[in-house]
Structure 1
């Protein structure tokens, strides 16, 4: 069976979904293929997220990632919304869940790090459920 394609979605595809994509590619590329996108785009990925991902994980998100629209995605099997508190458009998939994460943009470094911790934990759980065939 081929690896499922997972899309991480938030409004601007500039912070939480980008972090999820980067960490998923680093840690779970053997389990699923990660993408991210948004209903709108920003000219660049959130610079606090870029800085902290480099400092904490050694990941340069700007090297291979950029803000993308939902229409830029391939067909995906799993959709994970970040918790945007807006009405998400329908994106065809076989499974969908919402992680309910607050956007750390404009907040303290601690808020970003806490969000990264939450994303790491949720990614581990998602990967485990995919490996077990639960989703």
Structure 2
């Protein structure tokens, strides 16, 4: 018997901060129960080092990730598409669940400004896991 596990795609413009932190949390908290992807409509050259530092405080290492370009294939392969302020650049496909998480952009912010963004992302990811993979 094959079980199809849910897949989640996190999208923000640069795929360098919010979406990477969200993907890091989802991977860390859900383990192999959920497939995790992240992408951006205009990916940055590298992940925001402050986002990396904020996640390291939580014991989560996202240094191995690279910002990736948003593709229609990634959207098609995902059950849930969570945007973080990318506006109209996200392709829409019927049958997908779309959510827009309104979060401050950590770009150019110091660690004290990024921590509350990180903590809000964690709360939202925990709620998402409880919806997608009921205990």
1:66 pairs with 2:59: no
1:43 pairs with 2:53: no
1:129 pairs with 2:120: no
CA distance in 2, matches of 1:123, 1:60: 17
CA distance in 2, matches of 1:98, 1:59: 24
Equivalent pairs, count: 129
CA distance in 1, matches of 2:33, 2:102: 23
CA distance in 2, matches of 1:62, 1:10: 18
Shift of 1:30: 4.1
CA distance in 1, matches of 2:48, 2:101: 19
- Please report the RMSD computed on the Cα atoms of aligned residues, expressed in angstroms: 1.7
Shift of 1:99: 0.8
Q: After the TM superposition, which segments of 4 or more aligned residues of structure 1 sit over 4 Å from their partners?
A: none
TM-score (norm 2): 0.86
CA distance in 1, matches of 2:129, 2:33: 6
Structure 1, unmatched stretches of 5+, are: none
Q: Is the 8 A contact 1:83 1:102 kept in 2?
A: no
Structure 2, unmatched stretches of 5+, are: none
- Corresponding residue of 2:104: 102
